[in-house]
Amino acid sequence: MTAKLFSPKEWQLTLPLAFFLHLFYIAPLAVLLASSFQQAVGVPGFSLAQYGEFFRDSTNLKVLTDTFLLGLQVTLACLFFGYPVAYVYNRVTGIWKSVMTFLILLPLLTSAVVRTFGWVVILGKQGLINSALQGLGIIPEPVKLLFTHHGVTIAMTQIQLPLMILPIVASLSQIDSRLLAASASLGGGAWRTFWKIVFPLTLPGIISGCLLVFAITVSSFVTPSIIGGGQIMYMPTLIYQQGVVLLNGPFAAAISAILLVMVLAVVVGLSILGQKSRTYIR
């Protein structure tokens, strides 16, 4: 009887969350979008002036492309460093599995602010990297890493890495080991088996990892603002500057909307790729 109560209308189970999201996410988002169409602060009405102003200014466009570039670089770097870790994680057993779980999750266990300050110490002029390279005689002068785009990319990669590794681990763990045995018995070498069997089967995990890393990187504020200093601007720092420092709400809302569109475009693009990858697996 009780089982029947829900079974015909399972979708009702999503109602609490749907209600919650509408109230606290969709509604504020609507307010945000509405205010981005204001002519100026406190002037109601519909106008594309804020968007026009954004795209007219080459500095803003540079911020937009820099943000996209940051997302792309961090995503690729996470994939490059994360995939091998996920692969090894899937192979180890026993105590090493627990150790690796802990190590992979470690970046998520400390706060973003603490991690970021750690990177400030490492990347600084007298920091770990520069003093090591100088001590070894590789570089005569300290390399400028702090307050640069590269510095932000390095720190963000470390911070986002778990978000790439975990989905890949999830899809690696589902690969039927008999497939690998079959490949080997048919004469496939280790690399060929990897590229023909393992890698394609983990594409869904790679794509969800990329989605997470990209979306969170381009919208993160703490790390880019501390490592980037007062100079390197990304979309979130620009939103903060316009909304909080200059009290220019409508323009900040328009920048937020543009950032949202960029993230959505990437999400849609990767989802299509995900669909394609699934047909490829079949």
Binding site for another protein (CB under 8 A): 59, 105, 108, 111-113, 120-121, 124-127, 146-147, 162-163, 166-167, 169-171, 173-174, 204-205, 208-209, 212, 216, 220, 222, 225-226, 229-231, 233, 241, 243-248, 278, 282
Q: Which two tokens stand for residue 155?
A: 């720190």
The residue (of 144 and 189) whose beta carbon lies closer to another protein is 144
Give the shortest CB-264-to-another protein separation in angstroms. 17
Rounded distance, CA 261 to CA 32, Å? 13
Cα Rg of the chain (Å, integer): 23
Give the shortest CB-25-to-another protein separation in angstroms. 13
Question: Whose CA is closest to 254, among 40, 6, 16, 22?
Answer: 40
Cβ proximity of 215 and 5 under 8 Å: no
The residue (of 193 and 223) whose beta carbon lies closer to another protein is 223
The residue (of 115 and 183) whose beta carbon lies closer to another protein is 115
The region that residue 111 occupies, defined by phi over 0 for left and psi between -120 and 50 for alpha, beta otherwise, is: beta
Q: Which two tokens stand for residue 130?
A: 């520069």
- Hunting for tokens 């978000």 — which residue is that? 163
What residues does 43 pair with on adjacent strands? 40
Give the shortest CB-263-to-another protein separation in angstroms. 14
Give the shortest CB-166-to-another protein separation in angstroms. 4
Give the shortest CB-189-to-another protein separation in angstroms. 26
The residue (of 43 and 190) whose beta carbon lies closer to another protein is 43
